[in-house]
Amino acid sequence: MRIFHDLTQACFDSRAYVTIGVFDGVHRGHQRLIADMVAAAHSTHDVAVALTFDPHPALTLGYEPPPLLTTVEERRELLARLGLDALAILPFTSAIARTSATDFVDALIRHLNLTQLWGGSDFAIGHRREGNVAFLQRLGAQRGFTVRVVEPLVWEGSPVSSSRVRDALQAGDAVQATGCLGRPYRLTGIVVEGRGVGHRIGIPTSNLSVPPERLIPANGVYACFAHTEHLGTHRAVTNVGVRPTFGGADGGQQPFVEAHLLDFDTALYDQVLKLGFIERLRGERTFSSADALVAQIHDDIARARVILGGLGGDVEPQVVPLQALDLEGVSQQRQQHG
């Protein structure tokens, strides 16, 4: 997949099928839209191109952006697996924000040889989102391109969307997030030195430094898979929260994310650790003593072994084909453990 950061860098001899969006999370709705567009483009020997933005448009427009499900690097990796020929990662500047829909489309025609523009029913581009579907269809009739509208993917009675994934994770529902994403939600960070609480109670943890813009799931204890490049994938119990039993965090501080890797005793300081969130075991709570907390953690570990025992444990960036995702199994898991 070719990457470019300016439309002027792209010159295609073939015509281009194009889709535009933030694509945060690259959830199953995004996957279906892009996979269908890729198949359609390649059936006519044309190219399939996606345009995304960095930073999130809300920052430039003066709004508080939502917590991100993926970094731009993770989005790039996930989108590459969908068969795209090219990905434009454009800086969302004030100049882009002021660009009219007509001028933006003309740039797509000029630099990408646009022939089809794909998006959802609420798709809109240009200054103040003036370029909605009806506008673009009229413009396409004038400029010689067509607009393909893809309806939202519905799962468990509701459309799959980035906001739905965020809501699920902020409620601690990792199983629903997996169903929407087609893979476990992944959080990546650098292992840093903590306060040594885990070592003092005999259950050492790897403390993750997470970028501040990333979404951290709701406070609680999770069954996860943990992956490092050199040491592979291991089962883990991850605590997200403020450690209330040991005095908690400072006010306003980002929650701690600390993973206890099962049957593993190697220090991981300064390494990149990737956590795949499988299921929330319980909420965070204060214990009367360190002994009571340790007893509960051992119960958490036993339950995590059962949950994770039959799973593959791959938390590397991947996109699960829709037909391969066991939605019935996910629904049953929600009923059993939700």
Tens-digit pLDDT profile for residues 13-24:
899 999 999 999
In this prediction, what percent of the chain has a pLDDT beyond 90?
A: 73
- Kindly state whether residue 165 falls inside one of the protein's structural domains: no
Q: Are residues 213 and 140 in the same domain?
A: no
| Prediction pTM value | 0.89
Quick one: 201 exposed, middle or buried, by C-beta within 10 A (0-12, 13-18, 19+)? middle
Instruction: Tell me how far apart the alpha carbons of residues 275 and 333 are, in angstroms, rounded to a whole number.
Output: 20
Whether the per-residue pLDDT at 192 is higher than 60: the answer is yes
323 is a domain residue: no
Residue 214 lies in a domain: yes
Same domain, 125 and 9: yes
Rounded Cα gap, residues 172 and 208, in angstroms: 18
Establish if 179 belongs to a structural domain: no
Please check whether residue 277 lies inside any domain of the structure: yes
CATH at 305: 2.40.30.30
- String of b and e for 214-236 (b: at least 16 CB within 10 Å)? bbbbbbbbbbbbbbbeeeebbbb
Looking at the domain assignment, is residue 333 inside a domain? Answer: no
Q: Would you give the end-to-end CA distance of the chain in angstroms?
A: 39
Asked if 144 and 240 sit in the same domain, the reply is no
State how many domains the chain has: 2
More confident residue, 189 or 312: 189
Average pLDDT over residues 177-204: 88
The arithmetic mean of pLDDT across residues 217-230, rounded, is 95
pLDDT at residue number 107: 96
Are 215 and 169 in contact, with CB atoms under 8 Å apart?
A: yes
149 and 193 together in one domain: no
Do 118 and 209 fall into the same domain? no
Residues 190 and 143 in one domain: no
Residue 215 is assigned to a structural domain of this protein? yes
From CA 7, how far away is CA 110, in angstroms rounded? 9
Residues 236 and 109 in one domain: no
| Amino acid identity, position 60 | T
Question: Residue 91 and residue 98: Cα distance in Å, rounded?
Answer: 13
Evaluate the CA torsion angle 171, 176, 180, 186 in order and state its sign.
Answer: positive
CA gap 66, 91 in Å, rounded: 18
Q: Same domain, yes or no, for 7 and 148?
A: yes
CA 246, chain centre distance (Å) = 32
Inside any domain, residue 159: no
Q: Compute and round to an integer the Cα radius of gyration of the chain.
A: 22
Structural domain containing residue 91: 2-153
Q: In terms of domains, do 7 and 143 share one?
A: yes
Give 108-152 pLDDT, tens digit per residue: 999 999 999 999 989 999 999 999 999 999 999 999 999 999 999
Q: What is the pLDDT of residue 200?
A: 79
